[in-house]
Each structure stands twice: as C-alpha cells, then as structure tokens.
Structure 1
C-alpha cells in the first residue's frame, strides 16, 4: 500500500467535508488532513461561542467556511463568513477566529520556502 500525502480521509471514496469533523459541545475540534514544511490542511468544527485567540502564522492562511457562521479578525478588522465564503489571512498578521454560530471550516496554510 502506498503512503498517502493526505491522511484521515478514505481514498477513492466520495465524501462530504462537512461530515468529516463533528461539532462537540464547548469545543474546537480539528482534524489534520495533511501537514509538512510547505503546507497544512486542517478541518475545524467550532461550537457556538468557541474561539481560537489572536495569533500569528508564518504562512498565508486560506479559510473556507463549510457550515454555519464564523467571525475572523485580521489585524483588528472583523470579517463574518457564512457557508461557501472564503478569506485569505496574510502571513505575519495577527488573526483570531470566533464561532458566532456553530460552524465548520477548512483551513489551508501555505508556508514560505525554507531558507537553505
């Protein structure tokens, strides 16, 4: 069997991303699909009122809301996203995520090349 670069998802099977992670009371749930020095792909499920506090990433973070409503704050500016909407959070800018309603999102982070 060949090692997959994407993990935690059945291969050659049709699926819905929204069904791959579950909203749990009082929690932020994450499921890593792929991670290496260049890229990170993670599914998240937030219960209403849960959050990831302000932090900075070394990579550009592209988020797509799959279900519900989330509030994303980038460098102090708030953006409310609903299912089907996406937002690019630039690297090295402080950002945070808050669940206005229970919601699910796909996060893709692209990191700069490692210096040699």
Structure 2
C-alpha cells in the first residue's frame, strides 16, 4: 500500500518525466498523493498498452498529459489528445488503449468523505 499522504500537508511532485519514463511494452504508475479524500496517480503507457474494462467506487478525473489514446466510458469510445480530460462518475465502467506512448494523470476523489 502506498504511503499515506496527510490531507493537512502540502506536497510537490516534480521531475516526473524523468522519474517515471515510458517503458517499452509496459504500463507503469506512481502514486503521488494518497489519503482519505483523494488519490493522485501518474501512469505511463507504451504504444499499444491497455487497461481492460473496470470501475472505481470513487469519482475519477483523468487528464492525458501527452500522447493519444482511446478511452471508453460506459461503452462510448473517446479519442483523447494532450490536455484532454474525462470525468468518471463513481461506478462508471471504463477502459483504455494507448495509440501512442502516453502519460496520464488520474485523480480519484472519495465522494463519501
């Protein structure tokens, strides 16, 4: 389990491009913030990598930092480019396929806290 990040303490996460590079034929991730209210995770995907359909009990905001991907939400596919954002309601089924090498930031928010 990633280290708990106190809600009352600020934090900075810099140099992520170097610290979390895109790895050939891989999906990688690093948890940046993790507490009772939210979790922030940065992912990298090599071209062709995917996440199969799943859901989160939390509300989720996904922002594509670089690259292009196809992101499916409740059966509807969206082509995402750099800077694009998708909001997922709690329980929304979703999946993705990286069309190019990608970097994505995911923020999960606990709507019950």
Q: Is the shorter-chain TM-score for this pair beyond 0.5, marking a shared fold?
A: yes
1:18–1:66 CA contact under 8 A, matched in 2: no
**Structure with greater Cα Rg:** 1
**Distance in structure 1 (CA, Å) of the matches to 2:73 and 2:83:** 19
Aligned partner of 2:41 in structure 1 is 42
Runs of 4+ in 1 over 2 A off after TM superposition: 15-20
1:19/1:63 CA distance change after superposition, 3 Å: farther
Q: Write the distance in 2 (CA, Å) between the matches of 1:38 and 1:44.
A: 20
- Counterpart of 1:32 in structure 2 is 31
Counterpart of 1:80 in structure 2 is: 79
Structure 1 residue runs of 5 or longer lacking an equivalent are none
Specify the alignment match of 1:94 in structure 2.
93
Q: Which residue of 2 aligns with 1:5?
A: 5
The two structures, once aligned, show a CA RMSD in angstroms of 2.3
TM-score normalised by structure 1 residue count: 0.81
Q: How has the CA–CA distance of structure 1 residues 20 and 80 changed in structure 2, closer, same or farther, with 3 Å as cutoff? A: farther
Closer, same or farther: CA 17–85 of 1 in aligned 2, 3 Å: farther
CA contact (8 A) 1:18 1:67 kept: no
Q: Which runs of 5+ in 2 are unaligned?
A: none
Instruction: With the length of structure 2 as denominator, give the TM-score of the two structures.
Output: 0.83
